[in-house]
Each structure stands twice: as structure tokens, then as C-alpha cells.
Amino acid sequence: MPTIEAPSSSRLFRRILVALDASPHSRAALNMAVQLAADVEAELEGLFIKDENLLRAAQLPFAEEVRTHSVSPKRLSDRRVQRQLRHQAERAEAALQDATEQAEVPYNFRVAEGQVTRELLQAAEEADLLAMGKTSTRSSRRRLGTTSQALLSGCSTPVLVLRRPTRRREPILTYYDGSDAAQSALRVAARLATRGATHPLKVFLPTADADEIERLRAEVQEEYGNHVAQLQVRPLTAVERDRLATLARREGRGLCVLPGGCSPLSETPLQQFLYELDRPLLLVR
């Protein structure tokens, strides 16, 4: 039987990185990152990135800006873009300061310039968790931003992506198939369920034969049955396995912690899964 680390007094995340921009999704990620940092006694780092692609585009003589409610495009100037980015960075820092001061969470803030995905991947290497909005635009829940998709696919650090924060005491969901990634995801889910405002923890098992299901159930119960007050463990039916995101959405707006590469994720395009899920997703590898 594999050894699964049970909840302890050690900190789950010591350093949480949150990607900041001007979008409502980013503000939701900030609020949840602050909540998590307060619960697990972590430090928070806010990172605002000046997109080098946008800055280069602003230097082109034919570049124009088309706004949602404007009648005609406006000339895109380097000076105006620099000014807008500076103001956005100032607002992001102010939002970070306000949110962390209320929760008494230590923080720092920095501004970087470069390709957004590359900068975030590099910064995430020094963090224990990366929190970010689902997209940097004011879009519906259907759209998954290209940066979020790239980070979910290529980041070795756990990634939290969302468009609106979770509610307190909502159930935390996870999926356990016995793999190394599933053990890590279960450990994270169990620790979060027992810190701060405690949450029920629902553990879904894969569709399998009775012996395999009982083995997995026993592993979870043995390690976490005495640590998580409201622990539910049950196997998925074949239909539920194929529609895990829809099932999870019906369980409320709590956090969903999934192991990277698990069957429900590998069989559904990530954008479709997040659209059907419509709740914060923490992907653990």
C-alpha cells in the first residue's frame, strides 16, 4: 500500500504566486489566493507582467486599438500603452495591498516585462502554488485564456485557475486513482479541508472492479478518516466518470482538486472541462 502523507502542522504552501492583471477573473484569483494564504499561513507574491508582444505592437506605425464600444479604431501609440500598463500595475498593487492587509497576509509585489506565459512559468518555479484568472478578458465562462491553458498544460507547480472565488465551507472535491499525482492531489485537498473554515471532502474513485474500489477506499480512509471530519469516498459510475465536470458543478462552487493526467481530464479537452466545471480548479502534478 502506498504511503500517503496525512495532514500535519507543517505548511502546505509556503509561497503562493498570483498573476495580476486588469480582469475580474484576476481579482477573483487574488481574493482566493489571499484566502488560501491566510488558511495555510503562506506568503503571497503578486506579479504583474507587461506583455512584450503588446509593447512591440504599439511601436508599429500601422497599429490601431479597437475598443468594444468605440465607433472607430484609435491609433495605438507606445506612450499610451506604457501609461495604461503603468496604471494597471498600480491598481493591481493597490488591490493586492488592500486584500492582504485585511487578511493580515504577508505579501510582496513586482512588475516584470516579457512574454506572459514564459514569465509566469519561470516565476512559478520558485512558488508552491500559482493562482490565476481563467482569462484576462471580460469574457463568459466558456472561454479559457491561452495563458491559462498553457500554464495548466506545462507548469510543474500546482496551478489554481478560476473566474470567481469559492464560497466558504463549500465541499472540496478530488479524484483518487492511486497514482503519484492523485496521492499529491488528495494530500492537498485533505489539508485544505482541515484548515481555516473547514470543508467537507468528497473523494471520487475511478470506475473499476469491486476489489480495486475497496483497495482505494481503504487507502483513503486509513490515512484521512481520522483527520477529515466530513469525508465521503465513493466510486464513479461510467457515466459520471465521463461527465465529472458536470457532476462537480452540481456539488456547488467549492474547490476541485484534480491530479494532472487523470482519466476525466485526459479524455476531455481542457477548455470544455473547465466550461462544464465552472468552479475553481486546482491542478496538481
pLDDT for 270: 83
Average pLDDT over residues 93-97: 97
Phi, psi of 266 (to 5 degrees): -70, -20
| Higher-confidence position of 20 and 198 | 20
| Higher-confidence position of 143 and 160 | 160
pLDDT for 136: 62
Phi, psi of 281 (to 5 degrees): -115, 125
pLDDT for 5: 47
pLDDT for 232: 96
pLDDT band at 145 (very low <50, low <70, confident <90, very high): confident
pLDDT at 75 over 70: no
Q: How many CB atoms lie within 10 A of CB 102?
A: 10
pLDDT for 55: 85
Angle at 67 between CA 81 and CA 84, to 5 degrees: 20
Q: How many CB atoms lie within 10 A of CB 142?
A: 13
Going by C-alpha positions, the residue among 186, 158, 96, 118 that lies closest to residue 282 is 158
Average pLDDT over residues 251-262: 91
Phi, psi of 145 (to 5 degrees): -65, 150
Distances (CA, A) of 164 to 26, 161, 186: 9, 9, 23
* List of residues 6+ apart from 270 with CB closer than 8 A: 144, 149, 152, 153
Query: What angle, rounded to 10 degrees, do the helices at 116-124 and 146-154 form?
Result: 30
pLDDT for 46: 98
Distances (CA, A) of 265 to 97, 162, 186, 250, 271: 35, 16, 16, 18, 10
pLDDT for 70: 56
Taking the C-alpha atoms of residue 137 and residue 85, their distance in angstroms, rounded to an integer, is: 15
Average pLDDT over residues 80-108: 94
Q: Cell 490515512, residue?
A: 223
Going by C-alpha positions, the residue among 199, 185, 205, 184 that lies closest to residue 231 is 199
pLDDT for 109: 98
Q: Find out whether 248 and 278 touch, Cβ atoms under 8 Å.
A: no
C-alpha torsion sign, points 271, 272, 273, 275: positive
Pairing mode of beta strands 64-65, 74-75: antiparallel
Q: Which domains does the chain have, with CATH numbers?
A: 15-162 (3.40.50.620), 172-284 (3.40.50.620)
Sequence-ordered alpha helix ranges (H) in 41-108: 52-58, 78-103
pLDDT in tens, 16-44: 999 999 889 999 999 999 999 998 999 99
| Higher-confidence position of 55 and 121 | 121
pLDDT for 9: 46
Q: How does the average pLDDT of the chain come out, rounded?
A: 87
